[in-house]
Amino acid sequence: MIRFRQIALIFMATTWMAGCVSLDASDEVPSTGNSLANQSISWPTWEQVRRVVLLQDYNTRVVVFGTTLLGCAAGIVGSFTLLRRRALMGDALSHATLPGICIAFLLATKMGYDGKSLSVLLLGATVSGILGMLTILWIRKTTQLKDDAALGAVLSVFFGAGVALLGIVQQVSGGHSAGLEAFIYGKTASMNVADAKTITMAAFGSIGLCLVFFKELKLLCFDEKFAGSRGFPVMFLDILLMMTVVVVTIVGLQAVGLVLMIALLVIPAAAARFWSDEMSNMAWISAGLGMVSGMLGAEFSAVFSRLPSGAMIVLICTAFFAISLIFGSKHGLLIRGLRRVRLNRRIDREHLLRAVYEKLESGQGEVGKGVSFNELMKKRSWSERRLRGSIRREQNAGLVSFEDQYVTLKAPGIAEASRLTRQHRLWELYLITHAEIAPSRVDREADMIEHVLDPDMIAELELLLDRAGQDVPASPHELTDSSVKAGVED
């Protein structure tokens, strides 16, 4: 389960922000600063920036509080959907809400109610979203279609129906001013205290469910069949996860809109994936990135009043994703590049030591001098620069000496070269015997896989070949197929 200290920090931050937001409309003051409702085009002054950063304007406090909680909930829920390989579920569900919003407006107007009521529109969005979720699950369970096909079908069909219904709404009396387009692109600046309360309840409810069923949802994401074999209610957990996605998506329509809602569910979780392989760490990192993205996006929109909040939130998320992509400590490009360099240098070291050992073993080296540089160049298809670099590194490591263009092994180098040659030849014997690789080609084949040989496999090969008493077996690719197999059978 997610560490309580990390969760406590998240909730302390949101509680502090809740204290900054007065839920009483009487606290609202005339906007003398640069609040989110201000649409004037001007470069902000330091005073305006300070007012936004310190949350001195009422409207700014409400919006920042709501978007921060929304980002936190979306980050945690999105980490499960990403590992469940349903990252586009939020996109499909957000698009599936549009026909429900339009139908709710039409029915409320027909029955004499206020069709522009946010509660009525969100109720229609919820019903339509749940219907879309159930449709996706039904297609997945009753047909041979994969998740991506089911998501694409539901997304396109429901959104197409929503666009058609939106055209009908525009023709209804008062429909042109209904403001339904705000649910498509988001209208964060119009968020009020009631919206903040709704987001708060939905966010804490979704986070609470994820924490209570954390172990079960984690097992569902990593191995659905194993969870079912152990008696876990897979269908119930699947529906529970999808319900949290529906809830977060519905409450996020007012903030970022149905088009950009997918960004809050996918980007923070994808960014967190670059920092950790552990589910608990990934979840709280994703929640933290979602929180900061929601807060900074809303504040940037408050400082630069002509910039839409939803788009700014997504751009902040994208910036965090780019940073994580490059500097991520687990799967970032820099750390992966560093690992690749280390792997290449380790492979060069193994090839160099083994080449010198085999040359000396076959008597091709000169007494007192070792193996010449030109002979090593013929041994492998490496460049002169690469070979010299490898010799220099191993010389600094005290494994070889290089004088007068001759390479010889020192005592530590002899021990290491003997071990590496032995492992390589065990792989060659294994490939010839069990993979039916021709002895004349087995050297290169063994080169491709020998670097993953672990101690358990070495011990197994020793028992299989009954060569535990022999330190370094003879090179098998220099023998015939029959002699190798006969030696193994003996």
In this predicted structure, the answer to whether residue 90 has a pLDDT above a threshold of 60 is yes
Encode burial over 381-416: b for 16+ CB neighbours within 10 A, e otherwise: ebeeeebeebbeebbeeebbeeeeebbbbeeebbeb
Closest residue by Cα to residue 121 from 60, 175, 160, 63: 175
What does the pLDDT look like over 205-235, one tens digit per residue?
888 888 888 888 888 888 878 888 878 888 8
Least confident of 246-255, 280-289, 428-437: 428-437
Q: With bands split at pLDDT 50, 70 and 90, how would you rate the model's confidence at 459? A: low
Least confident of 213-222, 313-322, 476-485: 476-485
For 461-468, what is the mean pLDDT? Answer: 55
Mean pLDDT of the chain: 75
| Of 163-172, 291-300, 405-414, minimum mean pLDDT range | 163-172
How far apart CA 289 and CA 276 sit, in angstroms, is 14
pLDDT at residue 326, rounded to an integer: 93
Asked if residue 47 has pLDDT above 50, the reply is yes
What is the tens place of the pLDDT at every residue in 56-73?
677 778 788 888 888 888
**Which has the closest alpha carbon to 23: 201, 182, 186?**
201
Burial readout 185-209 (b: 16 or more C-beta within 10 A, e: otherwise): ebbbbebebebbebbbebbebbbeb
Q: What is the CA radius of gyration of the chain?
A: 32
More confident residue, 65 or 191: 65
pLDDT at 19 over 60: no
Cα–Cα distance measured from residue 335 to residue 274, given in angstroms and rounded to the nearest whole number: 10
Percent of the chain predicted with pLDDT > 70: 72
Confidence of residue 477 (pLDDT cuts 50, 70, 90): low
As given in the structure block, the two tokens for residue 393 are 């590194």
Can you tell me the mean pLDDT for 104-112?
81
Separation CA 319–CA 311 (nearest Å)? 12
Give the distance from CA 417 to its chain's centroid.
Answer: 40
- pTM listed for this prediction: 0.70
Band (26; pLDDT cuts 50, 70, 90) = very low
Distance CA 376, CA 369 (A): 14
Averaged pLDDT, 308-322 = 85
H helical segments located in 362-410: 373-379, 384-396
Report d(CA 84, CA 238) in Å as an integer.
10
Higher pLDDT, 26 or 261: 261
In a 3-state reduction of DSSP, which class is residue 1? coil
Residue with more model confidence, 229 or 177: 229
In this prediction, residue 451 carries a pLDDT of 59
How confident is the model over 417-436, as a mean pLDDT? Answer: 76
Q: What is the pLDDT of residues 118-127, one digit of tens each?
A: 677 778 888 8
Is the pLDDT confidence value at 483 over 60? no
pLDDT tens digits, one per residue of 336-374: 989 888 888 888 888 888 888 888 877 776 656 788 888
- pLDDT for position 323: 93
Say whether pLDDT at 7 is over 50: no
Taken in order of first residue, the domains within the chain and their CATH numbers are 4-329 (1.10.3470.10), 335-409 (1.10.10), 414-489 (no CATH)
Give tens-digit pLDDT for 318-338: 999 999 999 988 888 999 989
Q: Say what the pLDDT of residue 25 is.
A: 41
pLDDT of the residue at 255:
67
What's the CA gap between 311 and 320, in Å, rounded? 14
What pLDDT is stored for residue 37 in this prediction?
A: 45
Q: Which of 116-125, 182-191, 435-444 has the highest mean pLDDT?
A: 116-125
Out of 131-145, 198-212, 447-461, pick the least confident: 447-461
What is the residue whose two structure tokens read 């560490």?
3
